[in-house]
Structure formats: structure tokens, C-alpha cells
Amino acid sequence: MLAKKLANLSARPQPLRSALCSALLLGLAALGTPAFAASTRVEAPDGVFDGKLDTTGAVREFLGIRYAQPVTGDLRWKAPQPVTRAHGPQDATKNGSHCPQTFSPYGNGDPGDGSNGTAEDCLFLNVFTPNHRHDDNGRDRDNGRGDRDDDDAHAVMVWIHGGALVVGESNEYDASKLVEKGVVVVTINYRLGALGFLAHSALSGESPDHISGNYGIEDQQEALRWVRKNIRAFGGDPDRVTIFGESAGGLSTFTNLVSPTAKGLFDGAIVESGAYQQTQPTLAQSQALGGNFATAVGCTQSTPAAVLACLRALPVSTILANQAATFSGLGPAPTVDGKVLTQSIGPALASGQFNRVPVMNGTNHSEWNLFVGQDFDLTGHPIPNTEAGYKAAIATLTGPAAAPIVAAQYPLASFPSADLAFGAVGTDLVFACPALTADKLTSPFVPTFAYEFNDPNAPQNFLPPVSFTYGASHASEIQYLFPQANPSAFGLKLPQTPLNASQQQLSDSMVIYWTRFAKHGDPNGSGNPNWPVFAGNTQTIISLVPATPTTETNFTIAHHCAFWSALLGAGATN
């Protein structure tokens, strides 16, 4: 350690000590490394890892760390198995393989490692940690930003990527801005699509717990166990772990929040646009879908053992080619299997039968605009600006019977176009009002902090321009936390629009809110506007608007949540 080296120098004759100190300081300056820099070699319980510094020298990166045994061969469609300690140092300077997926704007089907997106051996994580050590009093010597973490170890934030549980990967999220605030960030891969969420009676039959279908969630929990066991070696505090994720990553966060098998694995939860599915299918329902998949791929043998042999012999490309027909709608879903999930998310939150940790939950003001662009305009079929065309679009979400009722609540004449009118409908039905429901359910039991991301000019870096403004659409808040504008645009090679000055100010505030929550279970402090705890009687939330966040109290009215509650039944949206 540098402190010990300097102490040893004090015993030497004064001229020699002075010369050696000068040389040491000059050497450090020449390297451009902080005087209290930490080593890029870490020895943890599960191995010795050689990482690297990021391009700024402020963040140590440990990439492609295996957290579970390869889920290949006989381990396909089985719970992840703990990793075994490797002999000798492990290279942690390169990302591991992405989990198998097809090409999309939101994930990299080809990770550039020659696997063409079909490498099942993909259960890797990345650790990003500040490049400095604490002083002798346990303080961060080189933070200097008024947000010092005075404990011996940093709070930990574990990011669960989105992508409808079918696409996405951990590699493309630049955690430097979060790490700058004195936290350790871990990003993880987990099994996707059919490989991560297929249930089948034959799979359940071989399971000691008689379950199947939640392999991706079990992967996330195995990663959290790895974090609990190893993160202190990287400067993290295993007793201050916050899980956070967006879209399917937010749904995963809620799933872990209510999962009995995740008890004790984390201490806080941040959900970004993840409240869209509060009722999960039963094991029987998921197994029926799995039976359809087995039929589609020709695994219809007469015995369970033969079916399993057939399924495990399938090429990954065949699985990817056939999974879309099995998982329709918003993609695969976690299954109420009796172990990983004993009940759906909504009922678990309502009854208080969940892992009681502080919760931050939010949504974006114009979530559904992304899907309008993706599913209508960019397919060459924009929604006609006619009542008939508008109602036909609504029917894709609500069914034809409810479409006229919804169209009357959201009159086409009140919007610049049918695209934006339908965007408002989808936002409120799928995201906004379910998020409000979740806030109402968790707030009686745990401190709950609710937000709405409200930048109407947020850059859209996932999809090309369309005839309307995307606004604060789905996933547009990610770039305010992770500096890289779009973690998944490499497939489309779209030009990336950077944040302007006021958006950067909002980004700074959001990063402080997120990291303060991870450290203290409360986002407040460090000069940001006060973020009140959510209460059912006032429903005050923070509005993340550039340049300075403010509070809002009209979320229910603005998003027509009373209407949706009445239309869908009591408790559906409030």
C-alpha cells in the first residue's frame, strides 16, 4: 500500500527520503493515476481477477467475470450452478458473450465474438468501481464532490438490462457517471427468450422442485449471490446492494422484490418503466406455451426423457427462430411456479408479502410513442388520422369492444395526430397507471419514491425519426444515467444525439438521486430538490424535467387513471 511505503521511508536518512518521495510523486504524476489509486488485480473468494482502467483512469473495470457454470449441454434449462474458483489469475479485461438473441434495435444479436449471438455460455457480469482507496479513516480521498461515502466500502448497484426478456446485454452500459458518485456498479447477463423462460411439463418433471420457466430470474439471483460473496474485494459493501433495471429489467426487479428465493440478496430496488405486468402466468399456463414450442421444433416424443433429449439437442438458431411464436405480446413472462414466484407481483405487493426494502419506481411521460414508431410508422403503416384508423389501433391494445370507449376518453381532435393520441392511450394503459398502482401498493409497507421522467425533447437514439416527436418515450431516460446515449444502437448504426446543457443538468440530478438512494435508501441530499416519500393521500411524485426536477401532484388526472380503473375493474390501475 502507498501509505505503508511512505511510512517506511520515514526511517531513512532525510535527504534520501526526500529524493525518494519526490521520485515517487513524479512517477505517479507521469502515469496520470490518482495518488490513492487501487490495484487492477483483485483477489476475491471466487478468484483472482485482472481488470483494467477505463479511458479516464477514474474507473476500474473488471469485465466478463463468470458468475455461474456454463448453462450448456445438460445444464440447458436448469437452474444456474455456482461458479467454482479458478486456478490462477483470470483475464477480466474483455466482455463475455451475450446471451443468445436475434437482431433488434435494442440488443446486439452479434456481440462481435464470432458466436453470431448463439453462445449459450453467457452468464457473465461486469464490475465497475472507483479507482481510489480510502484514507485511514475510511473516507474517500479523491471524491471531492460533496457526496462522499464515509464507510469502508461503497454501496453497490446491480443493473438488470431491459429488452422484453428476449434481447439485451450487460456490455454496453457505461457506468462511469454513477461510479463517479462513489458507488460500485455491476451489470449482468441473464438467459433470454425460450432459453431463459421456457416452461414444459418434462422440464418440471425432472426438477427437484417440479418447476420450470424462471431460469432467467434464477440467473439474476445467482449473480446477486456472487455479488454478496465477492463484491467486498472490489470495494463494494455486500450489505448495501440495490438492484435496478429498465423495462424488462424493471419487471425483473419487481419479480425479485416479491420472490422468496431473493430474500436477503439486496437492500433496495429501483424500477424504471417496469410495472407493466403485475399478473404472471401460472405454471400450467406457461407449460402449455412450452408444449406449443416443443411441437413447433419437432420435440413431440412419447416419453419425457426423449422430449428433453430432443430439446437439449436443438441448435440455438432453431430455438431463436421458433420462440417468437411461443411468446407473443410483450414477450416471455416470469412464471408463478410455487418457488421462485409463489404469487403474482400485484397480489404480493398488495398483501405486503415481498422483500421489504426501500423502493424507487417510475415511468416516462410518453412511453408508448416508442412502440407507435416501431410498430406503425417504421413498418410503413402509420395510423390513419381518421376515427376508424384510430379505433383500429386502440383495438390492438384493448380489443374492439372497448376501443370506442377509449377513443371517447382520448378524442382524436385533442391530439396533433392519431399516432400521438394512440401513444397517450398506450402510455397510460400499459405503463403510467400500473406504475401508480405499484406505488400505492408498496408505500404502506416500505419507503416509496415515485417519479415521472418528463423531458419532451429527450434524444431518441434507438429508432430513426418518424412523423411525430417521440418525446419522453420508453427507455429514453437510460442515457441520463449511463453517459453513452444508446447502449444498443450498434446494430442500426444510428447517429447519436448528445444531451444539451439543460439535459446534462437533469442527468446530473438523476445520477445523484439514484446513487443517494443506493447509499441511504433515500434519494434526497447533495443539493437536489426535495423528493417526497410517496403517500397514497397526496400522491406527490418528482417530475424529472430539465433542467431542474420539480414535484407534481396531478399524475392520476394527467394519465386518466380513474378512467382505466373503472374500465378494467377495481384495483386494475389504482
Secondary structure, 3-state, 32-48: CCCCCCCCCEEEECCEE
Residue range 268-299, pLDDT digits in tens? 999 999 999 999 999 999 999 999 999 999 99
Separation of alpha carbons 283 and 203, rounded Å:
11
- For the chain, how many helices (H) and strands (E)? 19, 14
Handedness of CA 26, 27, 31, 37 (dihedral sign): negative
Q: What is the pLDDT of residue 325?
A: 82
- 150: exposed, middle or buried (C-beta count within 10 Å: 0-12, 13-18, 19+)? exposed
Q: How far is CA 282 from CA 152, 169, 220, 278, 480, in A?
A: 44, 27, 21, 13, 37
pLDDT tens digits along 515-563 = 999 999 999 998 999 999 999 999 999 999 999 999 999 999 999 999 9
Span 495-514, pLDDT tens digits: 889 999 999 999 999 999 99
**CA distance readout (Å), 314 to 195, 308, 389:** 11, 10, 42
pLDDT of residue 47: 96
User: Among all residues, which ones are annotated catalytic?
Assistant: 247, 367
Domains of the chain as residue ranges with CATH: 33-326 (3.40.50.1820), 358-568 (3.40.50.1820)
Assign 12 a pLDDT band (cuts: 50, 70, 90): very low
For the segment 367-373, the average pLDDT, to the nearest whole number, is 98
d(CA 376, CA 378): 6
Q: For 54-102, write each residue's pLDDT tens digit.
A: 999 999 999 999 999 999 999 999 999 999 998 899 999 999 999 999 8
All three cell numbers of 34, joined, read 490518482
Question: Per-residue pLDDT for 211 more than 90?
Answer: yes
pLDDT, residue 185, reads: 98
Cell reading at 324: 417468437
Average pLDDT, the chain: 89
Instruction: Give residue 2's pLDDT band: very low, low, confident or very high (50, 70, 90).
Output: very low
pLDDT at 184: 98
Mean pLDDT for the stretch of residues 27-37: 40
Q: What is the DSSP string of 474-489?
A: TTTTGGGTSSSS-TTT
More confident residue, 115 or 406: 406
pLDDT score of 119: 87
For the cut 90, the answer to whether the pLDDT of residue 172 exceeds it is no
Gap between the Cα atoms of 412 and 421, Å rounded:
6
Residue 146 has pLDDT above 90, yes or no: no
Task: Supply the pLDDT for residue 136.
Answer: 29
Type and span of the H or E element at 91: strand 89-91
The pLDDT value recorded for residue 490 is 61
**pTM for the whole structure:** 0.90
DSSP 216: H
- In this structure, of 31-40, 247-256, 442-451, 532-541, the range with the lowest mean pLDDT score is 31-40
**Do 372 and 383 touch, CB atoms closer than 8 A?**
yes
485 pLDDT band, cuts 50/70/90, is low
Model pLDDT, residue 133? 54
Question: Is the pLDDT at 457 greater than 70, yes or no?
Answer: yes
